Amino acid sequence: MDLVKELFNIKPECNTLVENRFKEFENLGKNGSEEDLFSELSFCVLTANWSAKGGIRAQKEIGNGFINLSEEKLIEALKSVGHRFPKARAKYIVSNRWIIGNLKALIKKDPFEAREYIVKNIKGISWKESSHFLRNCGISNLAILDKHIMRLMIKAGLLNELPKSGWSKKKYIEIEEKLRPISKKFEEPIGKLDLYMWFMAKKSVDK
C-alpha cells in the first residue's frame, strides 16, 4: 500500500473533521483549566486497553468525578460505563491527582521531555498514552502508536509486525521515526497524521 497516496485520497473527505478536532485540542492546551487537563489525562489512562469511544463516554458521564470522587465511588462510576478494569484505573486516577496544578506548565515544556516525565511519574501511562495526552493538548509532533495505526504501517511496509511486549523508550521512538517521512510527504505534522490514519482505519475522527 502506498500510504502517502492513500492519505491524499482520503484527505478531502475528512480534512474539515481533522482541522476542527485539532482546533479543539489546541483550545484545550491554551485555555483549559488544570481540571480540564487532568480530565484529559484521565481519559488517556482509561483508553489504554479499552477504546477511545468508551473513554469519551466515561469522560462525559464522570465529569469532575476524576478529581473529586473517592476511589470507591470512582470504581463504581467506571463500572457503570463498562470499563474493563475499573479498580486498576480508579486507583491510577486517584493516585495521579498530585499533578493537578502542574499540568499547564508541563504541556509548555519541550514535548519530548514532557512525554518522558509523564511516563516516569504518572500511573497507568506509557509512551502511547503520554503522546496521546500531549497531542490532545494541541502538541503536534508526537505519534500515537495505536494498534490501528501500526496495522496501517504494516500494510504500508513500514513495520513487519505489531510489537509483542510493552513499550520501551527506544522502541517507541524507533517506530515513531518511521512515520516522520510520511508526515513530511503528506505535509501535515505527525499528530495530525494520526487523525488521518485513524480515519483510514475507522472512518471517524475521534480524539
Active site residues: 128, 146
Q: Is the dihedral of CA 197, 139, 136, 115 positive or negative?
A: positive
Q: What does each C-alpha distance from 119 to 6, 41, 47, 127, 131 come to in angstroms? A: 33, 12, 15, 6, 9
Which are the contacts of 69, defined by CB distance < 8 A and separation ≥ 6? 62, 77
Q: What does each C-alpha distance from 11 to 26, 53, 152 come to in angstroms? A: 20, 22, 16
CB 142 within 8 A of CB 190: yes
Q: State the Cα–Cα distance between residues 20 and 11, nearest whole angstrom.
A: 14
